[in-house]
Amino acid sequence: MNAIESLRRIAVALAFTLAGAGAAQAAAAITIVNQNAPGEGFNDPTPARPVGGNRGRTLGEQRLIAFQHAANIWGRTLTSNVPIRIGASFVPLACTASGAVLGSAGAYEIWTDFPNAPRANTWYPAALASKLARTDLTAPADPHIIARFNSRLGLFPDCLPGSGFYLGLDNRAGDQIDLVTVLLHEMAHGLGFQTFTDDESGQLFFGIPSVWDYHLVDNRNNTPWVAMTDAQRAASAITWRGLSWDGPNVNAAVPRVLGPRSNLNIGGANAGRAAGDYYVGDASFGPPLGRRAVSGQLMPVVDQTNGTGLACVPLSASNARAVRNNIALVDRGTCDFVTKARNVQAAGAIGMVVVDNVPGDVVGLSGNDPSIRIPAVRITQADGNTIRAVLKKCSCNTSGVIATLGIDRTRLAGADDRRRILMYTPSTNVPGSSVSHYTTEAKPNQLMEPSINSDLQHVVRPPRDLTFPLLRDIGW
């Protein structure tokens, strides 16, 4: 057997940033090991009032209670006769006034060729390796998982002020960041929801694949990661929608968990070569796209000298006439998406399509405003250019190009053509996020996407979530 000591010092931990499994047969005991110094982190003596079922009397005590609450959720879900230790602390992490690293966690050690190992010459995280070996492979003084969380979040003007951790246990964080949700995510990484292969270079760690790698498949040619060269793995890790998870437990659960894909259809007499279906990013505000599609002429907002439209201020009379009872086409930039939606809605638009202003993949629209009643989506710059090319041939009062915002009942949101869930593989590698997360296209939002979503529940299994089925696939 072999443990890699260097994993204790290198950045194996995965950062969580703001910007059909059966029931477990027995519980696993998970213990939080407080690694903070006196007066810091879990030992912070700042008085605190009870919140959301958390009755700790100090900030430090409430942090520890929230940690143990998340650990208990995983403990009731997993099975292991080896108690799992999480070495945890609250420490200052990277942050600015507008964004922050919430926390990070990962395996403290990884093991291969231990007793009862299902696969030879394969890396397993310490907690899973110990479960499979039926004995604790890690030294008693060491944790199986290491976790660090941001002690400054929301408490200082240079660290996302006003958006601190919600320490309640009731999943009612409101505008705050739900700590229990973040903890469930990060603990999953430590339990094995990660690869130890370098997703940027494609190199196997010490020339040995991770158990994770056996279930990753390049869906363009249906080739598993373990059968690829380093260069092929590196290429697949930056191929949007190109990498899927192929495991029996996740595959069985996907149709029960994922909903139909959101869709933009372009048609009409003047659609020309722009006619067809387009991938879209959903908005976190306004009504979700549903079975009753919203359809109307696609009319561009033009309020810039270069012919683009930002809709960052109330629309002019001519723009308002163009979008009234139609779907407004606007450009990303200058102001937030909620402001754009608010302005086109006020002008009478029945929907909004935002064109990205830089090359890249489909992503959603962030923001929150309960007053927005129209659906909104985002498309890539390339797709926007294709659509704009036919709109330029139309008059300013009518386009003859019909946009329909709805759902594609034949496709699952966040799944490939074989109904396997996609992994997060943006065309630009994101260290700590690429490959070791689910796609951001999944609906409903999944716990193991790379960024937090406010609608997440304290749930790790079907019919709401696909985290536990993946852990089952790797051996839990």
- Residues of the chain with pLDDT > 90, as a percent, come to 86
Q: Could you tell me if 289 and 433 lie in one domain? A: no
Structural domain total, the chain: 2
Q: Could you tell me if 289 and 431 lie in one domain? A: no
For residues 296-314, give the mean pLDDT. 93
Q: What is the extent of the structural domain holding 387?
A: 260-411
Q: Report how far Cα 55 is from the mean position of its chain's Cα atoms.
A: 30
Is 393 exposed, middle or buried (CB count within 10 Å of its CB: 0-12, 13-18, 19+)? Answer: exposed
Q: Give the pLDDT of residue 463.
A: 97
Only one residue has tokens 């499979």, namely 132
For residues 323-327, give the mean pLDDT. 97
d(CA 288, CA 405): 10
Q: Could you tell me if 43 and 189 lie in one domain? A: yes
Q: What's the number of CA atoms in the CB half-sphere (13 Å) around residue 168?
A: 15
Q: Could you tell me if 236 and 93 lie in one domain? A: yes
Instruction: Please answer whether residues 264 and 379 qualify as being in contact, where contact means their C-beta atoms are separated by less than 8 angstroms.
Output: yes
Q: Which of 67, 463, 75 is nearest to 254 (CA)?
A: 463
Q: State whether the Cα torsion 468-124-420-380 is positive or negative.
A: positive
Cα distance from N-terminal residue to C-terminal residue, the chain: 20
pLDDT grade for 16, boundaries at 50, 70 and 90: very low
Least confident of 93-107, 120-134, 267-281: 93-107
pLDDT grade for 1, boundaries at 50, 70 and 90: very low
Q: Write the pLDDT tens digit of every residue in 130-147.
A: 999 999 999 999 999 999
Boundary-marking domain end, from 356, 383, 411: 411
pLDDT grade for 10, boundaries at 50, 70 and 90: very low
Q: Report how far Cα 165 is from the mean position of its chain's Cα atoms.
A: 18
For residues 119-123, give the mean pLDDT. 97
Q: Give the pLDDT of residue 5.
A: 33
Q: Write the pLDDT tens digit of every residue in 401-427.
A: 999 999 999 999 999 999 999 999 999
For residues 358-374, give the mean pLDDT. 93
Q: Give the pLDDT of residue 307.
A: 85
**Is pLDDT of 17 > 70?**
no
For residues 296-320, give the mean pLDDT. 94
For residues 318-346, give the mean pLDDT. 96
For residues 152-173, give the mean pLDDT. 94
Q: Which residues contact 414 (CB under 8 A, 6 or more apart)?
A: 258, 261, 421, 422, 438, 439, 441, 442, 443, 446
Q: Could you tell me if 277 and 172 lie in one domain? A: no
**SS3 assignment for the chain:** CEECHHHHCCCCCEEEECCCCCCCCCCCCEEEEECCCCCCHHHCCCECCCECCECCCEHHHHHHHHHHHHHHHHHHHCCCCCCEEEEEEEECCCECCCCEEEEEEEECCEEECCCCCCCCCCEEEHHHHHHHHCCCCCCCCCCCEEEEEECCCCCCCCCCCCCCEECCCCCCCCCCEEHHHHHHHHHHHHHCCCCCCCCCCCCCECCECEHHHHHEEECCCCEEHHHCCHHHHHHHCCCCCCEEECCHHHHHHHHHHCCEEEEEEEECCCCHHHCEEECCEEECCCCCCCCCCEEEEEEECCCCCCCCCCCCCCCCHHHHHHHCCCEEEEECECECHHHHHHHHHHCCCCEEEEECCCCCCCCCECCCCCCCCCCEEEECHHHHHHHHHHHCCCCCCCCCCEEEEEEEEEEECCECCCCCEEECCCCCCCCCCCCCCECCCCCCCCCCCCECCCCCCCCCCCCCCCHHHHHHHHCC
For residues 91-106, give the mean pLDDT. 91
Least confident of 197-201, 254-258, 323-327, 391-395: 391-395
d(CA 206, CA 209): 9
274, two tokens: 């722009």
Q: Could you tell me if 242 and 276 lie in one domain? A: no
Q: Give the pLDDT of residue 26.
A: 54
Q: Give the pLDDT of residue 9.
A: 31
Boundary-marking domain end, from 383, 411, 439: 411
For residues 306-331, give the mean pLDDT. 95
Boundary-marking domain end, from 380, 395, 411: 411
Higher model confidence: residue 395 or residue 107? 107
Instruction: Please answer whether residues 271 and 401 qualify as being in contact, where contact means their C-beta atoms are separated by less than 8 angstroms.
Output: yes
Average per-residue pLDDT for the chain: 92
Q: Could you tell me if 334 and 379 lie in one domain? A: yes
For residues 344-352, give the mean pLDDT. 98
Within 10 Å of residue 385's Cβ, how many Cβ atoms? 12
Q: Give the pLDDT of residue 320.
A: 95
Q: Give the pLDDT of residue 67.
A: 97
Instruction: Please answer whether residues 71 and 187 qualify as being in contact, where contact means their C-beta atoms are separated by less than 8 angstroms.
Output: yes
Is 457 exposed, middle or buried (CB count within 10 Å of its CB: 0-12, 13-18, 19+)? Answer: middle
Reported residue count of the chain is 476
For residues 340-354, give the mean pLDDT. 98
Q: Could you tell me if 16 and 51 lie in one domain? A: yes
**Is pLDDT of 237 > 60?**
yes
Q: Write the pLDDT tens digit of every residue in 419-451.
A: 999 999 999 999 989 999 999 999 999 999 998
Q: Could you tell me if 297 and 269 lie in one domain? A: yes
For residues 149-168, give the mean pLDDT. 94
Q: Could you tell me if 302 and 386 lie in one domain? A: yes
At 370, which CATH number? 3.50.30.30
Q: Write the pLDDT tens digit of every residue in 206-220.
A: 999 999 999 999 999
Q: Could you tell me if 274 and 373 lie in one domain? A: yes
Q: Write the pLDDT tens digit of every residue in 62-78.
A: 999 999 999 999 999 99
Q: Could you tell me if 287 and 340 lie in one domain? A: yes
